[in-house]
Amino acid sequence: MDIGEFGLIARLMGEAKARDGVVVAIGDDAAVVKVTPDCNVVFTCDCMVEDVHFLRTATGYNVGYKLMASNISDIAAMGGRPRYAVITLVTPADEEVAWLEDIYTGIKACAAQYGCQVVGGDTSRGPKVVLSVAMLGEVLPGREMLRSGAQPGDLVCVSGPLGASHAGLQVELGRIDASAACASEARLRHFRPVVPVDLAVTLGELGCRCANDISDGLASEAREIAVASRVGLELDSALLPIAPEALAIAHALGEKPGDYALYGGEEYALLFCVPALLSAEVCASYPAVQIIGRVTDDEGVFLLHQGERERLRAAYTHFD
């Protein structure tokens, strides 16, 4: 790489334009943005590390798109909409500029899809590629959805079929031939998740007060809600919506599709607990939503399977 730091920034970010609430865009010490009056600010950050979150077999576009989607998912899980983001890039000095440009193309494509603007960031040198996003979103006061908002009697729901991302990871790891049935679609779902932002905002407007994005697996996110709300979540294995890609690839590998849905991470779907009176309206407006269980008085996360009730084990954590 012989274009220098400022040349790289210019290549990656392009021409800075102040628009749609951006007072000062890229090119100063910091960006300045207008926050909509009467809205609360939602603030999140997330990172991806080479060989931990992605392999170099992935295209730069897919890496960038997934990075942005993971942050947008955090904003959505709070009932908010994403507005502005800044990107930090750590890269080896000899990294291919074209691959980095492809990452930023994916970042900006995902941001644009969900109405978010990239307004700045930072670059530094390091032994491997590390990408981090800090993002601001907005939610109307009183419409925030929290992990601590579940109440006994609520119905437990997910925004759509699960397991496709974990199936795509098996393709990325070379456990399934890329030409196999469903392999291409599974890999696409792994790198380019669809974040249910509109559903999340609607839930907040209807009065839903509890949600979590499925980044570390359904079982893990359900446990976070149970702990924060001091309730129990009882899930029914017969009601878990499993993506066709997950079914096909799990069967091909001799594995349980249900495990893909329960323990496969990086879905960026929505897990939420909604009062029973609201469930019919939500399901009618969003047909992909599936009721998968209920909130109980006893603490913990349980799975009903063929008449048996078992406590679910933990899913992925970064330091296990």
Based on the domain organization, do 182 and 268 belong to the same domain?
yes
CATH of the domain at 161: 3.90.650.10
Based on the domain organization, do 25 and 82 belong to the same domain?
yes
Based on the domain organization, do 160 and 307 belong to the same domain?
yes
pLDDT by residue for the chain (320 residues), tens digit each? 565 555 555 665 665 555 666 676 665 555 676 788 889 899 999 999 999 999 988 999 999 999 999 999 999 999 999 999 999 999 999 999 999 999 999 999 999 999 999 998 999 999 999 999 999 999 999 999 999 999 999 999 999 999 999 999 999 999 999 888 899 999 999 999 999 999 999 999 999 999 999 999 999 999 999 999 999 999 999 999 999 999 999 999 999 999 999 999 899 999 999 999 999 999 999 999 999 999 999 989 999 998 889 998 765 444 34
320 in any annotated domain: no
275 in any annotated domain: yes
Q: Which residue has the tokens 């976070």?
A: 224
DSSP the chain: --SHHHHHHHHHH-S----TTEEE-BTBSS-EEPPPTT-EEEEEEEEEEBTTTB-TTS-HHHHHHHHHHHHHHHHHHTT-EEEEEEEEEEE-TT--HHHHHHHHHHHHHHHHHTT-EEEEEEEEE-SS-EEEEEEEEEE-TT----GGG--TTPEEEESS-BSHHHHHHHHHTTSS-TTSTTHHHHHHHHHS----HHHHHHHHHHT--EEEEESS-HHHHHHHHHHHHT-EEEEEGGG--B-HHHHHHHHHTT--HHHHHHH-----EEEEEE-HHHHHHHHHH-TT-EEEEEEESS-EEEEEETTEEEEPPP---TT-
User: Domain tally for the chain?
Assistant: 2
What is residue 11's predicted lDDT score, i.e. its pLDDT? 66
Based on the domain organization, do 229 and 119 belong to the same domain?
no
What is residue 181's predicted lDDT score, i.e. its pLDDT? 81
Angle, helices 60-77/197-206, rounded to nearest 10 degrees? 0
What is residue 179's predicted lDDT score, i.e. its pLDDT? 86
Based on the domain organization, do 120 and 151 belong to the same domain?
no
Based on the domain organization, do 49 and 163 belong to the same domain?
no
Q: Which domain holds residue 306?
A: 147-311
| Total length of the chain | 320
Based on the domain organization, do 193 and 298 belong to the same domain?
yes
Based on the domain organization, do 87 and 224 belong to the same domain?
no
Based on the domain organization, do 106 and 151 belong to the same domain?
no
Q: Which of 72, 107, 139 is the last residue of a domain?
A: 139
319 in any annotated domain: no
What is residue 16's predicted lDDT score, i.e. its pLDDT? 55
Residue 218, classified by CB atoms within 10 Å of its CB into exposed (0-12), middle (13-18) or buried (19+), is buried
Based on the domain organization, do 182 and 124 belong to the same domain?
no
Torsion of the alpha carbons at 310, 312, 313 and 318, rounded to the nearest 10: 180
298 in any annotated domain: yes
What is residue 13's predicted lDDT score, i.e. its pLDDT? 60
316 in any annotated domain: no
178 in any annotated domain: yes
Residues 8/97, Cβ–Cβ less than 8 Å: yes
Residues 31/25, Cβ–Cβ less than 8 Å: yes
Q: Which of 139, 171, 191 is the last residue of a domain?
A: 139
Based on the domain organization, do 266 and 118 belong to the same domain?
no
Based on the domain organization, do 152 and 215 belong to the same domain?
yes
Angle, helices 244-252/183-191, rounded to nearest 10 degrees? 120
